[in-house]
Amino acid sequence: MYRTHTCGQLRVEHAGQETLLSGWVHRRRDHGPLIFIDLRDRYGLTQVVFDSTNAPEAHAVASQARSEFVLQLRGLVRTRPPESQNANLPTGEIEVVASSAEVLNPAKTPPLYIAKEGGEDEALRLKYRYLDLRRERMQKNLILRHKVVKFIRDFLDDESFLEIETPILIKSTPEGARDYLVPSRVHPGEFYALPQSPQQLKQLLMVAGYDRYFQIARCFRDEDLRADRQPEFTQLDLEMSFVDQEDVLTLIERLFTELSRELMPHKRLTTPWPRLTYAEAMQRYGSDKPDLRYGMELVDLSATVATSQFALFGEAAANGQQVKGIRVPGIGGYSRKQVDEVVELAKQAGARGLLWASLQQGTDPASVRSSFGKQVSNDEMAAIIATMGGKIDDMLLIVADKPSAAAAVLDKLRREMAARLGMADQNVLAWAWVTDFPLVEFNEEEGRWDAVHHPFTAPLDEDLVLMDSDPGRCRAKAYDMILNGYEAGGGSIRIFQREVQQKLFDLLGISRETAQAQFGHMLEAFEYGAPPHGGIAPGIDRIVMILAEEPTIREVMAFPKTQQAVDLMTNAPSPADERQLRDLHIRVADKPNT
RNA sequence: GGAGCCGGGGUGUAGUGGUCAAACAUGGAACCCUGUCAAGGUUCAGAGCGCGGGUUCGAAUCCCGUCGGCUCCGCCA
C-alpha cells in the first residue's frame, strides 16, 4: 500500500489519525533540525513536518529530498498551532508529523518550475509536457474539460441519445480540408483518410434509425494551425432525425446554457441566446462570428456620403462599394504615430487605406482632426459624425471598399480596438446563433460554386427556386453557434430527398459519375428510406478554452502540437524505416538532405 | 506560401557597438538555523549570448542567411 489518503484530503477531523501519504515534493523549507515539505498530488498539498529530535531517520530522508522527488511517508495528522495555520490551503489547518519516510524516486532538477508558473518559452513546456501537466493551470483545465464532456454525456443520455463510435480509418472525400492519409498495406497504392468529421457516418446512422446519436469525436484536418486550430481536435458530433432547425437549436441551447450555469456559475449569459442571420452579422459586425460582449457596431455611411464630392466616396458609390466605419470611444487623443499603426493594421487586413477622424476636441466639424477633412464639406463631416453617433474623444475609422473587404477590415479593427480597450467582459459568456448562411459561394479561382457548409446541407424551403435563378442568394438551413467571438460549432439540416440532392450536385458541378464515385454509398442509402435529419458539431476544445479563459486551444489539450504540427515531446512526425515503407508500398520521392 | 515578434547559465530577465571571458533573480551544491508556508542567512559552482556568414580596430548588440517557438494573412466543405 502506498497511501491511505491523498494530499488534498486531510482536515481537522483527521487529527490524531495515523496516515500514509505518497506524492511529489512541491516545496521544501529547511530550518535545520526542522524541515517542512509540501507534498503534492493532483488532489492538493499537505504540509509535512520532519523533526530531527523525534524522528531523526525521517528527518534525514527529508534533508536529502529535493523538488519533484517522489516521497512516501507515514505520520500523525495534527491540528497546527493557531498562529501557523495557512488559510490559503484547504489542508492549511492541519499538518502531518512524519514518523518515517522513504524516497520512492529521486528527480533531476526540472527544466520547468512546477510551483511557479508562467514566463518560459512554450516550446519548453511542450517538450516537457509531462512536467507542465503537473502544474495547477493545466490540471485545472483538464479537469474542467473532463467535467464539460461528462456534463454533455449525462445531459444527452437523459435526452435518449446514444453514443456510437465511428471508424477512424475511412474513405477520403475531396472536398473541404486536406485529409490526413493512411496507406493500406493490403491494398497497394490505396489509402484511408482520417475523418475531418464523422459527417457522412452520422447521416448514415440516421438512415439506420438511430435517431438521436452523439459522439465525442476526434477529427483531423491537415491544414495550417492557429491559436484555436490544431490538426486533431475534438467535436461533440451530434445528429437527430425527425427534427427541423428549431429542434436542434433548442436542444443545443439548453445543453450549453445548463452546462455554463453548472460549471461556470460566476459567469453571466443572455437567454434565450441572441440570434443573428448571416446577413445581419456581416452587416453589423463584418463577421459571421462576432464577439457580442461589446458593441462598437459597423455603421454604413454609404447613403450619408452618396453625393459627396470627395472622389473616394463618389467612386465607391459608383462602383457598388460600401463606405462603412466604426466609432472607437476614448482614443481621440491618439498620436499621429498611434493612428499610423491603426492604419497599418487595416492595410494588413486588406484595406487599400483607412480614413480617420479624431473627435478629441468635440463634434464640431471645424474642430475635427482627420485624414480627409479637406476633402469634405463641414456639412458632410457633420453628417458623418451624426450618423456614427460620434462623441467627444472618439476616433472614427472609415473604409470605402467592396462589401467583403470592408467587412474584413472593420472586423479586424473592431476586435483589435476592443482588445486594446479591454471592452470584453471576462465574466460574460456571449452565446449566440448565426443562421441562414448562404448555401453556396462562388469560387473565383476555380470558376464554380462551392458549398459553404457541405454538399448535404438543405436550402431554405422558400429559397429552393433560387438554386436555379440566383444561387448566390440561396440561403441554407445552416447555423453556427458562436461564443465570445469564436465559432463554437456549426451544423445544418440535411437534404434527405434524392431530387434536391441531385440539384445541389448539379449546381456544384459534381457530375453523376463523380457523385457516384465519391458519395455513392450516401446516395444509395438515401434510397432506402432516409428520415428528415439534421445535426451540429460543437468544438469541445474551443469551448473549454473560452470557459477557462485561455488564449489558445493548446492550454486545454494534454499533448498539443506546434504551429509546424510537430509534437516536441515525441518528435513526431519522424522518418519511417525502409521496412515499414516497403510494407506500405511507399517510396519517398523528395528526401530532405540530412 | 507571406508578414511580424521572440531565441543568452537549469529557468526567467537586464544588457542595443568598447566599461561584458556578461549583471540580477530563481533554481543547484555546501554550511548555519526548531514554526515555516516564495522560509531566512553565508559561501561556491554554473552561459560567451539559437546556428552560419558578413560589417567594424572592436559585435549579445548592426547587416544577410538559416533553424526553432509564437501571433496573424492565405488555408480551415
pLDDT tens-digit map of A113-129? 999 887 889 999 999 99
Distance from CA(A568) to C1'(B64), angstroms, rounded: 29
Mean local confidence (pLDDT), A435-454: 89
Contact A400, A445 (CB under 8 A): no
Chain B nucleotides close to protein (CB under 7 A) are 1, 3, 7-8, 10-13, 26-29, 32-40, 68-77
The residues, any chain, with a CB within 8 Å of residue A427's CB and separated by 6 or more, are: A266, A267, A268
Q: What does the pLDDT read at residue A315?
A: 85
Distance A347 CA to B2 C1' (A): 14
The nucleotide lying nearest A562 (C-alpha to C1') is B69
Q: Nearest residue to B77 (CA, C1')?
A: A176
Residue pair A379/A366 in contact by the 8 Å Cβ criterion: no
Phi and psi torsions of A198, nearest 5°: -80, 35
Alpha helices in A134-222 (DSSP H): 136-158, 199-207
pLDDT at A174: 74
CA atoms within 13 A on the CB side of A204: 15
> If pLDDT is split at 50, 70 and 90, which confidence band does A561 have?
very high
CA-to-CA separations, A425 to A99, A290, A419, A498, in angstroms, rounded: 51, 14, 10, 47
| A156-175 residues near strand B (Cβ < 7 Å) | 173, 175
> Given pLDDT bands bounded at 50, 70 and 90, which one contains residue A594?
very low
A12-105: CATH, from 2.40.50.140, 2.40.160.60, 3.40.1370.10, 3.60.15.10: 2.40.50.140
Q: What percent of chain A has pLDDT over 70?
A: 99
**Cα(A146)–Cα(A42) distance, rounded to whole angstroms?**
14
Beta strands in A58-201 (DSSP E): 70-79, 94-105, 162-163, 181-183, 191-193
Q: How crowded is the C-beta side of A304, counted as CA atoms within 13 Å?
A: 22
- With cut-offs at 50, 70 and 90, classify the pLDDT of residue A591: low
The mean per-residue pLDDT over the stretch A69-98 comes to 96
* Strand B lies under 7 A from the Cβ of residue A83: yes
Place of cell 483531423: A220
In tens, the pLDDT along A458-478 reads: 999 999 999 999 999 999 999
Express each pLDDT in A325-359 by its tens digit.
999 999 999 888 788 888 888 888 888 889 999 99
**What Å value separates CA A415 and C1' B28?**
46
Q: Give this prediction's pTM.
A: 0.95
Residue range A382-393: mean pLDDT, rounded: 95
Q: Could you give the CA distance from residue A148 to residue A133 in angstroms, rounded to a whole number?
A: 19
Q: What is the predicted pLDDT for the residue at A445?
A: 78
Q: Where are the alpha helices (DSSP H) in A429-484?
A: 466-469
Specify burial of residue A214 (Cβ count, 10 A radius: 0-12, 13-18, 19+).
Answer: buried
- CA A317 – CA A306 distance, rounded (Å): 6
Query: Is strand B in 7 Å reach of the CB of A30?
Result: yes
Q: Is the peptide bond before A106 cis (omega within 30 degrees of 0)?
A: no
Cα Rg of chain A, angstroms? 30
Q: Can you give the distance from the CA of residue A244 to the C1' of nucleotide B57 in angstroms?
A: 81
How many Å from the CA of A63 to C1' of B28? 15
Does residue A593 register a pLDDT over 50? Answer: no
Spatial separation of the C-alpha atoms in residues A451 and A519, rounded to whole Å: 15
* Residue A194, C-alpha cell as written in the block: 482520417
Superfamily, domain A139-266+446-556: Bira Bifunctional Protein; Domain 2 (3.30.930.10)
Check whether residue A120 has its CB closer than 7 Å to nucleic acid strand B. Answer: yes
Give dist(CA A270, CA A166) in Å, integer: 35
Q: Please give the span between the terminal C-alpha atoms of chain A, in angstroms, as a whole number.
A: 51
The arithmetic mean of pLDDT across residues A535-563, rounded, is: 97
Would you list the DSSP string of A330-344? T-TT--HHHHHHHHH
How do residues A139-189 score in pLDDT, each as one tens digit?
A: 999 999 999 999 999 999 999 999 999 999 999 887 789 999 999 999 999
Instruction: Return the domain boundaries, chain A.
Output: 12-105, 139-266+446-556, 294-423
Distance of alpha carbon A292 from its chain centroid, rounded? Answer: 16
Q: What is the mean pLDDT of chain A?
A: 94
Q: What angle do CA A230, A234, A235 make, to 5 degrees?
A: 125
Per CATH, the architecture of A294-423 is what? 2-Layer Sandwich (3.30)
A145 CA from B39 C1′ (Å):
36
